[in-house]
Structure formats: structure tokens, C-alpha cells
């Protein structure tokens, strides 16, 4: 079994990345000699914060997909659209590429991040016998796709700006936009708070 940095008393500063020497018996955080930030072997309450943020994002995912995300008002009339109804209308208007981008950014990416986060936390919480290499790859995957999560809101912002330049139509954002933005932020924070080293600690228990 390979040794860990923990066994050698080494801990990385999360602020500047410096590798610091700590005592293995030192449970309280020390200070980084370079930037004076707290340094500890593992992020404090990492799993608890990740659970809270992930469950909050999961709860907000329902209104984000059920409530209207925007309304296009033309000549005083307009129907509100949810994310999925917008995807369907884009597809029917033969804008398949845009429909695919909206679906991936607004539905597939948030759901995938939540599913992976739940899986990783359950592996640590219940000590499930899953491959730690694959779990680490999944963790890197959600960090990679997280940067595309705001793409749908950017598209709405551009659409609102462009349409407001004309006098015929008007675009109004709906309550789902706020819920969706909160889901994106919460999932990003949940991934940042999760300490992937907890996965490898299971092999030494």
C-alpha cells in the first residue's frame, strides 16, 4: 500500500499551494509560512458542506426547470417558456445546434454534476467499494464541465440585449433564471468544498 503525504506530515496550503510540514498528531490547523493562511491535512467539514450545498442545488433544480426562464413579448403578447419548452421550440424552428447547446448547458450539465457529487459523497460516507481512480476522474470531470454551466444564462443575456435594440419585441427573464443561476453557483461551491483526498483515505482505514 502506497504511503500518503499525511503519513509523512505533509499538507498543502489551499491558498498558495506550498507544501508544509505538520505533525501527524496536530489536529488543529497551522499557518502557512508563506501566506499565513490556515493549513490542515484535510478541509474542515468538507463532506458536511458538500452535502448541504448539493442538496440545496438539487432542491432548486425543480423550480429552475418548472418555472418560466424567459418570456418573449411581441406586439403586447407573449408566452413564458421553461428551459425544455424553449429547447423544443428551438428544435422545431430548425435551430438544432442552438437547441443542443441549451439542453446540454441547462439540463445535462447540472444534472450530471449533481449525480456525480452525490455518488462521490456516498462513496466517502458509506465507504462503498468503488475504484478510487474512477472516482477521481469523475471529480475532475465535474470541475471541467462546471465552466460551461453558465452558458445558458449568457445566451439569455445576449438575447435580451439584442432584442431590446429593436422596437417590435421584448424579452423578459423569468424566475427560473434566478433559480438556475443559484443551482450553478451551489454546484460549483459543492465541488470546491469536496476534498477528493477523502476518497483515498478509505484505502488506509
* CATH number for the domain harbouring residue 72: 1.20.140
Q: Which of 66, 111, 63 is nearest to 84 (CA)?
A: 66
pLDDT for 24: 56
pLDDT for 165: 47
Q: Measure the CA–CA gap between 116 and 130, rounded to whole angstroms.
A: 13
**Pair (55, 113) in one structural domain:** yes
**Pair (58, 158) in one structural domain:** yes
**Pair (59, 30) in one structural domain:** no
**Pair (199, 105) in one structural domain:** yes
**Pair (18, 85) in one structural domain:** no
CA angle 116, 122, 127 (to 5 degrees): 130
pLDDT for 50: 92
Q: What is the number of domains present in the chain? A: 2
Q: Which residues of the chain are under the pLDDT cut of 70?
A: 1-9, 14, 23-29, 40-44, 72-78, 147-171, 201-205
**Pair (156, 88) in one structural domain:** yes
**Pair (93, 188) in one structural domain:** yes
Q: What is the four-CA torsion angle of 169, 184, 58, 124, rounded to 10 degrees? A: 170
Residue ranges of E strands in 82-198: 169-173
Range of the domain at 35: 1-41
pLDDT for 160: 56
**Pair (174, 116) in one structural domain:** yes
**Pair (103, 190) in one structural domain:** yes
**Pair (135, 175) in one structural domain:** yes
pLDDT for 202: 67
pLDDT for 121: 92
**Pair (197, 101) in one structural domain:** yes
**Pair (36, 50) in one structural domain:** no
Amino acid at each position: 500500500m502506497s504511503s500518503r503525504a499525511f503519513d509523512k506530515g505533509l499538507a498543502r496550503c489551499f491558498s498558495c499551494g506550498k507544501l508544509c510540514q505538520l505533525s501527524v498528531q496536530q489536529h488543529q490547523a497551522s499557518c502557512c509560512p508563506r501566506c499565513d493562511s490556515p493549513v490542515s491535512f484535510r478541509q474542515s467539514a468538507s463532506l458536511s458542506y458538500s452535502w448541504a450545498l448539493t442538496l440545496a442545488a438539487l432542491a432548486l433544480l425543480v423550480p429552475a426547470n418548472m418555472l418560466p426562464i424567459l418570456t418573449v413579448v411581441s406586439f403586447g403578447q407573449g408566452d413564458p417558456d421553461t428551459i425544455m419548452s424553449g429547447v423544443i421550440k428551438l428544435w422545431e424552428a430548425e435551430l438544432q445546434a442552438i437547441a443542443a447547446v441549451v439542453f446540454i448547458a441547462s439540463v445535462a450539465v447540472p444534472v450530471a454534476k449533481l449525480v456525480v457529487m452525490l455518488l462521490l459523497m456516498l462513496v466517502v460516507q458509506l465507504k462503498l467499494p468503488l475504484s478510487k481512480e474512477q472516482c477521481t476522474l469523475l471529480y475532475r470531470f465535474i470541475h471541467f464541465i462546471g465552466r460551461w454551466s453558465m452558458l445558458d444564462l449568457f445566451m439569455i443575456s445576449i438575447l435580451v440585449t439584442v432584442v431590446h435594440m429593436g422596437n417590435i419585441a421584448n424579452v423578459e427573464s423569468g424566475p427560473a433564471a434566478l433559480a438556475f443561476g443559484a443551482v450553478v453557483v451551489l454546484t460549483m461551491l459543492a465541488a470546491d468544498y469536496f476534498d477528493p483526498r477523502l476518497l483515498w483515505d478509505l484505502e488506509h482505514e
